[in-house]
Amino acid sequence: MSPENIVIAGAGLAGATAARTLRTEGFHGDIIIAGAESHHPYIRPPLSKEYLLGKAGEDAVEVVPETWYTENNVTLRLGVPVTEVDPAGHTVRYADGTSEGYGALLLATGALPRPLKLPGSGLDGVSTFRTLDDSRHLREQLADGGRNVVMIGSGWIGMELAAAASSYGNHVTLLGLEEVPLGGAIGPELGRFFRTLHEGNGVRFVLPGSAREITGHAGKVTGVLTDSGERLPADIVVIAVGVVPDTALAGAAGLELRNGILTDASLRTSAPDIFAAGDVANALHPFTGEHYRSEHWANALNGGKVAGKAMLGQDAVLDAVPYFYTDQYDVSMEYSGFPSLAADAAPVIRGSLESKEFVAFWQRKGQVVAGMSVNWPKSSKPSAQKTIKALISARSDVAAAALSDPAVPFDQLMPES
Ligand SMILES: Cc1cc2nc3c(=O)[nH]c(=O)nc-3n(C[C@H](O)[C@H](O)[C@H](O)COP(=O)(O)OP(=O)(O)OC[C@H]3O[C@@H](n4cnc5c(N)ncnc54)[C@H](O)[C@@H]3O)c2cc1C
């Protein structure tokens, strides 16, 4: 049975996609999306890429055009976050003091930059990076080039921001705790690939290295003191050391938390009629039988769709093979699979890292569990990502020699359907 009305806390990709799905699935009741930010729902990937680089405008970040909400009778309460959830009374309270009953509630509150308690982190010129406003501000700072930029954090966001900063002609130094950037995510060989790419574009790495202090003068940042005692000059410092799921609402409401809001495969939380999706949800994944919290775009998109259907009582589960992508300089990378299953496995490579055109497959007990394609021709039929996803889903055994051999076309690798 459909609920009478649906409240969505969080006006991001997961929240807006859920609203869209509710209308596509024929839900006629009230939909209210409450957002902590004052912007219409937007997607974040361009913020550290084409939008930051000035190659795309704000229309490139809209989840749906702004007119969609009024046309589809969806109420947006922007800048009015939900401050309290009462699961027993089926009500939410908003920051403006008003409250409202709900038939179903979706928590799509996303994640927040992990804070780094460092002396000097409050200086002017030091920031974290998550929002459209952060991207606008950093773009203004970077655009003229010639500035000393220190990135603290060698994960995906730190690397993308380093690429954008150096593309504008700034002097970029990147500090990270890992021996190899992205080593924890994609292993040392492919992490080194990204390091070489950045070094070829002038980025300097201090790895493993951490910041002991951010130094300043007259309230403005002037440098970063590393744990080894090196003083790096800095006009701009960005702290990009990961995110934490924003579970404040759910925790205060007594929902079960474990690395995010714990849900079943249909994104139901431990409280009746409350669902969670996107970065904040740690959902049971049917493929592994384990909970998995993803911090990627596709998960928010697919999770929003599944939550929308599940709130209407449909039999929907989030069983997509996890996917994400990155663009840095002339490299476009896509990844599908389960990093936890691929951990410690050496990748099997088709193509060559030197040519910046390759596919890496990770296997576990003979089965493909993850795969990454870099600049792989779009003309490939089936595409590299389609092939990787099909191999993972089928759990079929594949010879490593066939995976790496360019003479074996992808359609020959595809499992029998
Ligand atoms: C700079 C950047 C670049 C990225 N690039 C990529 C990429 O290249 N590829 C990729 O796969 N993924 C990328 N991601 C990750 C991807 O953007 C996230 O996984 C996605 O945004 C998650 O969507 P979400 O809706 O769960 O959360 P969010 O987008 O974080 O939205 C949640 C919203 O809820 C709001 N909120 C919080 N609490 C409340 C409350 N109590 N009441 C109301 N509203 C609340 C927040 O302010 C926020 O606006 C990137 C992320 C960032 C930050």
Express each pLDDT in 216-262 by its tens digit.
Answer: 999 999 999 999 999 999 999 999 999 999 999 999 999 999 999 99
Q: Which of 209, 197, 143, 137 is nearest to 170 (CA)?
A: 143
| Same-domain status, 197 and 228 | yes
What pLDDT score does 2 carry? 87
In total, how many domains does the chain have? Answer: 3
What pLDDT score does 379 carry? 87
Query: What stretches in the chain show pLDDT beneath 50?
Result: none
End-to-end CA distance of the chain: 35
Is 118 contained in some domain?
no
Q: Which of 288, 279, 287, 282 is nearest to 270 (CA)?
A: 282
Range of the domain at 382: 330-413
Ligand 1 residue neighbourhood (C-beta within 6 Å): 9-15, 34-37, 44-45, 47-48, 81-82, 108-111, 129-130, 157, 246, 249, 278-279, 295-298, 300, 324-326
Q: Would you call 243 exposed, middle or buried from its count of C-beta atoms within 10 A (0-12, 13-18, 19+)?
A: middle
How far away, in angstroms, is 302 Cα from ligand 1 center? Answer: 14
Q: Which atom of ligand 1 is nearest to the CA of 13?
A: 25
Pocket probe for ligand 1: among 297, 306, 324, the residue whose CB has the most ligand atoms within 8 Å is 297
Q: What is the CATH number of the domain that holds 385?
A: 3.30.390.30
What pLDDT score does 344 carry? 85
Last residue of some domain: 208, 223, 241?
241
With a pLDDT cut of 70, the percent of the chain lying above it is 100
With a pLDDT cut of 90, the percent of the chain lying above it is 95
What pLDDT score does 25 carry? 98
Q: Which atom of ligand 1 is nearest to the CA of 112?
A: 30
| Same-domain status, 140 and 105 | no
Q: Would you call 228 exposed, middle or buried from its count of C-beta atoms within 10 A (0-12, 13-18, 19+)?
A: exposed
What pLDDT score does 417 carry? 59
Alpha-carbon gap, residue 349 to 237, rounded angstroms: 36
Enter the DSSP assignment of 246. -
| Same-domain status, 287 and 353 | no
Alpha-carbon gap, residue 183 to 190, rounded angstroms: 8
DSSP 57-122: -GGGGBSS-THHHHHTTEEEEET--EEEEETTTTEEEETTS-EEE-SEEEE---EEEPP---TTTT
